[in-house]
Amino acid sequence: MTKRQLEELLKDMSLQEKIDQMVQLPAGVLMKNGREIITGPLSDLHITQEELDGLGSILGTYDPDELNRIQKEQMERQPHHIPMLFMLDVIHGMKTVYPSPLGQGATFDPDLVRDCASMAAKEASLLGVHVTFSPMADLCRDARWGRVMEGTGEDPYLNGRMTAAMVEGYQGHDMQEPYKICACVKHFAGYGAPTAGRDYTAAQLSRHTFLEYYLSGYRAGIRAGAGMVMTSFNTVEDIPATGNQTLMRDVLRGELGFKGVLISDYGAVKELIAHGYASDKDDAAAKALTAGVDIDMVSDCYSDHLAEQIRSGKISESLLNEAVMRILELKNKLGLFEHPYRYADKKEAERFILSDDNRKLARRAAQESIVLLKNEDDILPLYGGVRVSKSGENQDNTERQNIRNKLALIGPYADSRSLLSSWAVAGEQKDVVTIREALEECGAGTLLTAKGCPMIGRDEICYNCESRETDSLSDQELCEMEEEALRAAREADQVILCVGEHFLQSGESASRTELLIPAVQQDLMRKVAQVNSNLITVVVTGRPLDLREVVKLSKAVLIAWFPGTEGGHAVADILTGATSPQGKLPMSFPYCTGQEPISYNAFSSGRPMPEGKHLRFFSGYSDAPNEPLYPFGYGLTYTDFSLTDPTLDRDVMSQEDKITASAVLTNIGKRSGTETVQLYIRDLSASVVRPVRELKGFQKVKLEAGQSCRVSFPIDISMLEFLRADGTFGAEKGKFQVFISRSSAEGRPAEFTLQ
């Protein structure tokens, strides 16, 4: 449709039709077959048949035949035969599930992340989906908040790079391209900074911190062309985002220039009442529409409480028209007027979904996401990096003794298909390869597998995890589980302990006050460590955890995140050395929960603690260090690298030109490896305080043993700009430090002056 045709259509629509376009309901209201995914509290919705007949969009299902039937029947009923939009949370893969977004952040590989999103878009579009509620662009610095699992970490630059990559992967250059879907950048805005780490609470941020750091991911997603933005549940400057005109009209539409569709989060329009910001549904509908919310997701505020206020003139119909026009434009961008069934095709879907290529991509993403935190005595890789053939014969006799090794594979994740996160809504555990299956497939010596304990102990608090396997297990059975594991540990040369969070312990509505692996698993780990000190621990988790005891008792520690459908293969590939670990932490792993929120790019304070000291009257704790257990950007490989101090081609820079910083990276180990070299900059003095370091670039470099290469980073004025005290963006003259390092906690700086 042309713009003019859309305008004609809008002009011809009745008031009821327009309002119907602005309502989104759970797919169940129209479904006859298929699976409905519920992603929020079910509330009583007073929806009339007439409102159903004109419904603009639904969320929460996928099935090409069912969605084609719904589209056909709805268009027949709709007075202007306007096609519907079908939306779903395709968060980290559709049927082929790749690592949870925090794991994707750990890859430091935007191209890979883009490819994954593109694959997800094709699987989703073949199953009838038009819009995904992804990427979550919220900056995440508080690991108590369960939704850090869905973000790409604590750094604005990395967050921005990954958000843009996901938008590009989902949408391509034009949403009408085959198998592309519309991306929805969420949750606007500041949702990642909930008070006390508790979901849905207020974001208490200074305006400067909010605009400078917390907007970075959304800004990048909008610049990448995202067709939709979703409001957040939290308040911003004490006004709920979903009714916040300043946030939505001045910042989102004005400053960020967003012209697409703004959808509320699930029930968030009606929740303006619970916030105490709206007195009733009339008031909630009026405030949300005035703020610029185009679609009311799963509430009856728009459907039941707009028409009268428009007719009475209390709300201007022009507000309605602009909202409906944006919705029609999005449907037009997706080509729905000409092709209402788009790419929904069951046969084609069956051919493409979970294909070998898709699994290979998911496996590579999982491999690159895994972070090696510790590797004492080079206990890993198990076979010295020798590719182990199926028959168990290795290709290099020097490692033969390893092949005879007995491995004990212990823990609730040892042979579990639960490697998908709580947001892998379309993924199925039946398609997941377990760690045990993968290790057996590659002939990894003699494998003694024993679960050892349940995921969560009977008396442990996890409100999300109602039904527990411990409910069905007697004390005797629990003892036998443990004894079997300890027997295996005693008999084995090495123990691979696979532990971690229950998948419902992270994600939405999964805030935690103690960031530990479940106590029952911690207890098993202690007992295993007593009988075998060659302990290699794999941690499956949606978030940073307090791993002090895990690290103390293990010779090696791997973070696998929620690795997805190919997670078992990826973990086995890293354990056996078929591929080397290269992941880097996208969030700090705290020394303890009490340090949260914690991030490397903090402000200095007027009394920064001298490194390694614990002095009174300096900023620090009396019972813990300031530093996290593992910092942002940290991750080991199976080799080792040296990096020289950075050198600059000039130490004075003018506003117009650029300087180049570089350092020489050398693989000083015995095998090839990939290092992520990171560029950090510090502005030593400015009109507002600036972080002690800020990531401004990174390069992944693969080197053979003994190889060196110079890694260079151009630095231009745009990398020095920030939100100045006068409210304008720009750089300020003065001294800057440049770090080129392998994590946010290493490296000695070079200095330059901006004139």
Q: Where in the sequence numbering do the catalytic residues fall?
A: 265
Is 296 an interacting residue with respect to ligand GLC (CB under 6 A)?
no
Residue with tokens 């051919």: 351
Is 265 an interacting residue with respect to ligand GLC (CB under 6 A)?
yes
Please say which residue, 265 or 368, places its beta carbon nearer to ligand GLC. 265
Q: Where are the alpha helices (DSSP H) in 506-629?
A: 519-531, 548-553, 567-576
Out of 18, 122, 161, 186, the residue judged to bind ligand GLC by CB under 6 A: 186
Please report how close the Cβ of residue 432 comes to ligand GLC at its closest, in angstroms.
22
The Cα–Cα gap between 609 and 617 comes to 9
Please say which residue, 183 or 448, places its beta carbon nearer to ligand GLC. 183
Please report how close the Cβ of residue 596 comes to ligand GLC at its closest, in angstroms.
21
Please say which residue, 168 or 508, places its beta carbon nearer to ligand GLC. 508
Q: Give the tokens for residue 629.
A: 């257990």
User: What one-letter code names the amino acid at 82?
Assistant: I
The Cα–Cα gap between 543 and 431 comes to 24
Count of CB atoms situated within 10 Å of the CB of 312: 8
Is 40 an interacting residue with respect to ligand GLC (CB under 6 A)?
yes
Please report how close the Cβ of residue 415 comes to ligand GLC at its closest, in angstroms.
31
Please say which residue, 89 or 168, places its beta carbon nearer to ligand GLC. 89
For the chain, give the longest Cα–Cα distance: 86
Count of CB atoms situated within 10 Å of the CB of 219: 22
Out of 86, 133, 213, 258, the residue judged to bind ligand GLC by CB under 6 A: 133
Is 271 an interacting residue with respect to ligand GLC (CB under 6 A)?
no
Please report how close the Cβ of residue 195 comes to ligand GLC at its closest, in angstroms.
17
The Cα–Cα gap between 635 and 745 comes to 12
The Cα–Cα gap between 464 and 286 comes to 35
Please say which residue, 89 or 368, places its beta carbon nearer to ligand GLC. 89
User: What one-letter code names the amino acid at 287?
Assistant: K
Q: Give the tokens for residue 686.
A: 């400015």
| Ramachandran sector of residue 335 (left: φ over 0; alpha: ψ -120 to 50; beta: rest) | left
Out of 20, 89, 296, 675, the residue judged to bind ligand GLC by CB under 6 A: 89
Please say which residue, 266 or 503, places its beta carbon nearer to ligand GLC. 266
Out of 296, 508, 573, 694, the residue judged to bind ligand GLC by CB under 6 A: 508
Q: What counts of helices (H) and strands (E) characterise the chain? A: 24, 27
The set of residues, in sequence order, having a beta carbon less than 8 Å from that of 694 and lying 6+ positions away, is 155, 156, 157, 601, 680, 681, 682
Please report how close the Cβ of residue 617 comes to ligand GLC at its closest, in angstroms.
43
3-state secondary structure of 114: helix
Please say which residue, 102 or 382, places its beta carbon nearer to ligand GLC. 102
Please say which residue, 39 or 421, places its beta carbon nearer to ligand GLC. 39
Q: Between vectors from CA 296 to CA 291 and to CA 297, what angle results, nearest 5°?
A: 135
Count of CB atoms situated within 10 Å of the CB of 236: 25
Count of CB atoms situated within 10 Å of the CB of 320: 24
The Cα–Cα gap between 372 and 556 comes to 8
The Cα–Cα gap between 365 and 666 comes to 25
Establish how many alpha carbons lie within 13 A of residue 538's alpha carbon, considering only the half-sphere containing its beta carbon: 33
Please report how close the Cβ of residue 27 comes to ligand GLC at its closest, in angstroms.
11
Q: Give the tokens for residue 504.
A: 């419902």
The set of residues, in sequence order, having a beta carbon less than 8 Å from that of 540 and lying 6+ positions away, is 413, 419, 498, 499, 500, 501, 560, 561, 562, 563, 567
Is 86 an interacting residue with respect to ligand GLC (CB under 6 A)?
no
Please report how close the Cβ of residue 724 comes to ligand GLC at its closest, in angstroms.
33
Residues near ligand GLC (CB under 6 A), total:
9
Note whether 568 and 435 are within 8 A (CB): yes
Is 39 an interacting residue with respect to ligand GLC (CB under 6 A)?
yes
Residue 684 buriedness (CB in 10 A; 0-12 / 13-18 / 19+): middle
Note whether 93 and 144 are within 8 A (CB): no
Please report how close the Cβ of residue 40 comes to ligand GLC at its closest, in angstroms.
4
Please say which residue, 186 or 281, places its beta carbon nearer to ligand GLC. 186
The set of residues, in sequence order, having a beta carbon less than 8 Å from that of 406 and lying 6+ positions away, is 445, 446, 448, 491, 492, 493
Please report how close the Cβ of residue 186 comes to ligand GLC at its closest, in angstroms.
6
DSSP line for 248-265: IIIIIIIIS---SEEE--
Please say which residue, 192 or 631, places its beta carbon nearer to ligand GLC. 192
User: What one-letter code names the amino acid at 124?
Assistant: A
Please say which residue, 263 or 572, places its beta carbon nearer to ligand GLC. 263
Note whether 620 and 598 are within 8 A (CB): no
Is 421 an interacting residue with respect to ligand GLC (CB under 6 A)?
no
Please say which residue, 271 or 399, places its beta carbon nearer to ligand GLC. 271
Establish how many alpha carbons lie within 13 A of residue 273's alpha carbon, considering only the half-sphere containing its beta carbon: 14
The Cα–Cα gap between 197 and 597 comes to 8
Q: Give the tokens for residue 128.
A: 């009838």
Please report how close the Cβ of residue 364 comes to ligand GLC at its closest, in angstroms.
27
Is 142 an interacting residue with respect to ligand GLC (CB under 6 A)?
no
Please say which residue, 185 or 575, places its beta carbon nearer to ligand GLC. 185
Is 138 an interacting residue with respect to ligand GLC (CB under 6 A)?
no
Please report how close the Cβ of residue 324 comes to ligand GLC at its closest, in angstroms.
21
C-alpha distances (whole Å) from 116 to each of 361, 512, 551, 744 are 7, 29, 31, 27
From the list 600, 601, 591, 602, the residue with the least C-alpha distance to 544 is 591
Strands 722-723 and 729-730: antiparallel
Please report how close the Cβ of residue 158 comes to ligand GLC at its closest, in angstroms.
20
Please report how close the Cβ of residue 234 comes to ligand GLC at its closest, in angstroms.
11
The 59-78 contact track toward ligand GLC, x by CB under 6 A, reads: x-------------------
Out of 108, 157, 210, 266, the residue judged to bind ligand GLC by CB under 6 A: 266
Q: Which residues of this chain interact with ligand GLC, rule CB under 6 A?
A: 39-40, 59, 89, 133, 186, 265-266, 508
